[in-house]
Amino acid sequence: MLNEAKVLLKKYYGYDSFREGQEKVINSILEGKDTFAIMPTGAGKSICYQIPALLMKGITIVISPLISLMKDQVDALNDIGVKASFINSSLDQYELQERILMAVSGYTKLLYVAPERLESESFCDLIKTLNISMIAIDECHCVSQWGHDFRPSYRSIAPLIKKLDHRPIVSAFTATATSEVKEDVVKLLNLKNSNVYTTGFDRKNLFFSVVRGENKKDYLLKYLENNKDQVGIIYAGTRKEVDNIHDVLTKKGYSVGKYHAGMSDSARTKAQEDFLYDNVNIIVATNAFGMGIDKSNVRYVIHYNIPKNMEAYYQEAGRAGRDGEPSECILLFGAQDIMLQKFLIEQSIFSEERRINEYRRLQDVVDYCHTTKCLRKFILEYFGESDVPDSCDNCSVCKDETELTDITIDAQKIFSCIARMKQKFGTVLVSQVLRGSKDKKVLDFGFEKLSTYGIMKNYTVKEIKDLVNVLIADEYLYLTESQFPVVRLKENAVKVLKGEEKVFQKIHKAKKKITQENSLFLLLKSVRKTISEREAVPPYIIFADATLREMSEKFPENDEELLNIKGVGESKLQKYGEEFLNAIKAYLKENPSEKVSHEPIKELQPDESNKHDIPSHVITLNMYNEGKSLEEISKERNLKYLTIEDHIMRCALEGMDVNLDLFIPKEYEECIFEAIKKSGSTKLRSIKEMLPEEVSYTAIKAALCKKQNSA
């Protein structure tokens, strides 16, 4: 049956082979075994129960925790031609009866239901009338009180299965599970002689980094400035923090939404849909957002505050790069975050045993933020993996991208001031004294008489406070655990005051864009967006970014070539193939040299003794930077002038140093950009028709490139 499974994989999903771990899980289910699979986010868990469901005679019931997750999964299945449906509280009575009838009649192959439905006796009676071949339980860690998303309703699953006249195969799936959670899942779901598969927790495409001691707001703004066109999630610890970050980013002109439990249901639904449908690039949210979010093109996840445990962190961070493309997971550490999480634990957990356990798990996160070993190794070992390499070369520890600055003198000033203030005050007042503030509180305590008063007046209070936070993160200082934390000296600070040790601050270098997008890729994204609005489904359900990127690199020109692109199955070829092929053909007609220019050629550089594969457009740019005109390069390289021109534009789109203003006549610049805006497309001819005859295609191309780079 595994061969039949591979046929369905190609037919419906457009892939030639299963990912690592999928084959064993699918084979286990097809052999009739209860199966428990722990697979990292993005590993393709849903395929592991969807394909067996298609090969079995009856219906598969999928227990899924969120309405949004159900809808996305069902939309995606229906889009590829699989009969699927869901039952949840969003349906009216007529829709509910219609879907039940379809399930009873055998029309539906997969029926998604919320675990809370299983608490209804009438619904359980209905379930018993169906020919159920399998019950698949998604996010199965929710059954365990030791899991990070415990949901009591998951405890209704095992009793339901026990009541069925014929026990179906039971499959359970999660992305993260400690040994305690694994044991709970097997026991509480009553899995019989189950095969348990852990396919590995490693997400090789994710770059993990921890940022300590920097001003979070400044770091965030710098990062977003360098990744303007990328899709990302920013997690914050409280609703207030979410609102503040959202306000700052909105004022800066970013396309951003927000999501937290304090918003109305309709506002949360709109925010989530705006993000899923690519109407906004960024969403700022509490941990209330994200479970079941299947958006594949999230390029970064930033935790503005530390999460409550490593399971929560890895699941939330894992929402980046589900399509396998390079993505980043950044955790911004601040000492105050620990106190926030402790406060939340105290307010929400009343069992002493659970509270102690949550404190222990919080400490694991703090250890992660301070570890000097490979971050990936820390994560994988936390989840029980052994024989993990000491270095991954894909995290901020293994690939240190910081510069050391000696801040010993400033540290000594800060330590001295704290000591003279008797270690009885917080970071703000210490910073005000060092700055020389005339704040009433400073004067009331007589701190203007201290020798350290005003010794850092060349800094702002905010900058001094940031330095104090660096020294806290690096364990020279600590904050007391109280409602109003007091900053105090640690032993290391005494050594610095005595001149026995120096203090260095790590400054993070600005990061470049994660990926560079070519112009055809951006055109295909616009085609996808148009289809998504027409079909009322999120863009990633039509095709993932990785699929569009492969199209933009391989230029398929017919159905057969398009089917060879990963992610293009027969159903999607029939539904969308013509539109994407037409877009590619139109693009190549306007840019005839583009297909050739994407291919690397071998050429000897004058100052090199060996041959290297150098992209043709880069060679053109090098010659242009040497002072040669485009006409001279065209003759010297024996290439058409249009090809050389396209090379320069491509270099600009890929972020290389090209002064596009040289190609745009100053007197026509404003009207060119106005024409581009009115046209609403990247088609040169339609833009040219709106402009004076003397405006060249070169000027329009340069303007389009400039517009894209500033987007």
Which residues are 396's β-sheet partners?
A: none
Would you say residue 430 has pLDDT above 90? yes
Band of pLDDT at residue 431, cut at 50, 70 and 90: very high
Of residues 9 and 336, the one with the higher pLDDT is: 9
414 and 434 in contact (C-beta within 8 Å)? yes
**Token duo for residue 406:** 């000696």
For 443, other C-beta atoms within 10 Å of its C-beta total: 12
How large is the average pLDDT for residues 166-182? 87
Strands 504-508 and 600-603: unpaired
Domain 519-590 in CATH 1.10.150.80: yes
Task: Write the pLDDT tens digit of every residue in 201-231.
Answer: 888 899 999 998 778 999 999 999 999 889 9
Contacts of 185 (CB under 8 A, 6+ apart): 36, 140, 141, 143, 144, 172, 174, 177, 191
Query: DSSP states of 454-477 as a string?
Result: TTTTTS-HHHHHHHHHHHHHTTSE
Q: How many residues does the chain have?
A: 711
Residue with more model confidence, 498 or 41: 498
> Is 322:42 a contact under the CB 8 Å cutoff?
yes
Query: Which pairs from 598-607 meet CB under 8 Å and 24+ separation?
Result: 598/518, 598/553, 598/555
Locus of tokens 């070992």: 381
The rounded distance, in Å, linking the Cα atoms of 595 and 554 is 8
Neighbours of 619 (CB within 10 A): 17
Q: How far is CA 475 from CA 416, 492, 505, in A?
A: 16, 7, 12
Q: At what angle do helices 352-370 and 375-382 cross, to 10 degrees?
A: 160
Contact assessment for residue 355 and residue 345, using Cβ atoms and an 8 Å cutoff: yes
More confident of the two residues 84 and 611:
84
- 599: CB partners within 8 A, 6+ apart: 616
Residue 343 DSSP SS3:
helix
The one-letter code for the residue type at 369 is C
In this model, does residue 291 exceed pLDDT 80? no
Residue 149 CB neighbour total at 10 angstroms: 17
In 3D, which of 239, 234, 470, 503 has the Cα closest to residue 334? 470
Mean pLDDT across the stretch 480-489? 77
Model confidence pLDDT, tens digit, residues 334-349: 878 888 888 888 887 7
Q: What's the confidence (pLDDT) of residue 598?
A: 46
Q: Express each pLDDT in 69-106 by its tens digit.
A: 788 889 889 989 899 999 887 788 888 888 888 988 88
Please report, for residues 413, 416, 418, 431, the alpha-carbon distance to residue 453 in angstroms, rounded to integers and kept in the order given: 10, 11, 11, 10
Considering only the top CATH level, what class is 2-198?
alpha beta
The tokens describing 92, both together, are 């009216």
Whether 425 has a pLDDT exceeding 90, the answer reads yes
Q: Which residue has the higher pLDDT, 136 or 346?
A: 136
Contact between 225 and 282 under an 8 Å Cβ cutoff? The reply is no
| pLDDT of the residue at 517 | 60
Q: What is the mean pLDDT of the chain?
A: 85
> Burial code of 447-460, b = ≥16 C-beta within 10 A, e = fewer?
beebebbebbeebe
Check pLDDT > 90 for residue 696: no
Bridge-based pairing state of the strands 110-113 and 59-63: parallel
| CA 335 to each of CA 341, 366, 609: distance values in angstroms, whole numbers, following the listed order | 11, 9, 54
What pLDDT is attached to residue 198?
85
pLDDT digits (tens, 9 = 90+) for 311-328: 889 989 989 998 888 999
Who's near 510: CB < 8 A, 6+ residues apart? 222, 226
User: What residues have CB less than 8 Å from 653, skipping those under 6 apart?
Assistant: 516, 517, 518, 519, 705, 708, 709
Cα(684)–Cα(672) distance, rounded to whole angstroms?
Answer: 11
pLDDT of res. 605: 37
In this predicted model, which residue has the larger pLDDT, 626 or 155?
A: 155
The two tokens of residue 160 are: 């339901």
Number of other residues whose CB lies within 10 A of the CB of residue 373 = 14
Specify the DSSP class assigned to residue 279.
S
Q: Where are the beta strands (DSSP E) in 552-704?
A: 600-603, 612-615
pLDDT grade for 356, boundaries at 50, 70 and 90: confident
What percentage of the chain has pLDDT greater than the value 70? 92
pLDDT of 367-413, one tens digit each? 888 787 899 999 998 888 888 898 999 998 888 766 778 899 999 99
Cβ(436)–Cβ(453) below 8 Å: yes
Residues of the chain with CATH 1.10.10.10: 405-508
pLDDT: is 504 or 112 the higher one? 112
Average pLDDT over residues 622-626: 85
Q: What percent of the chain is helix, strand and coil (3-state, nearest 5)?
A: 50, 10, 35
Is-contact 13 80, C-beta < 8 A?
yes
Supply the DSSP symbol for 395. B
Cα torsion 416, 421, 425, 431 to 10°: value is: -50
CA atoms lying within 13 Å on the CB side of residue 204: 6
pLDDT of residue 606: 38
Q: Does position 610 have pLDDT exceeding 60, yes or no?
A: no
What pLDDT is stored for residue 147 in this prediction?
63
User: Does the pLDDT at position 232 exceed 90?
Assistant: yes
Residue 538, phi then psi, degrees to nearest 5: -60, 145
Question: What is the rounded average pLDDT of the residues 140-144?
Answer: 87
Q: DSSP string spanning 604-629?
A: --TT-SS-EEEEHHHHHHHHHHTT--
Where exactly does CATH 3.40.50.300 map onto the chain?
2-198, 206-401
For residue 208, the model assigns a pLDDT of 96
CATH fold group of domain 206-401:
Rossmann fold (3.40.50)
Q: How many CA atoms lie within 13 A of 277 on its CB side?
A: 16
Q: Mapping DSSP to helix (H, G, I), strand (E, B) and coil, where does residue 237 land?
A: coil
CA 285/CA 390 separation, integer angstroms: 33
Q: What's the confidence (pLDDT) of residue 212? A: 83
Looking at residues 653-668, what average pLDDT do you find? 85
How large is the average pLDDT for residues 139-145? 85
Instruction: Determine the pLDDT at residue 244.
Output: 95
CB count within 10 Å of CB 253 equals 8
pLDDT at 611: 33
Which CATH code is given to the segment(s) 405-508? 1.10.10.10
| Angle at which helices 45-55 and 22-30 cross, to 10° | 30
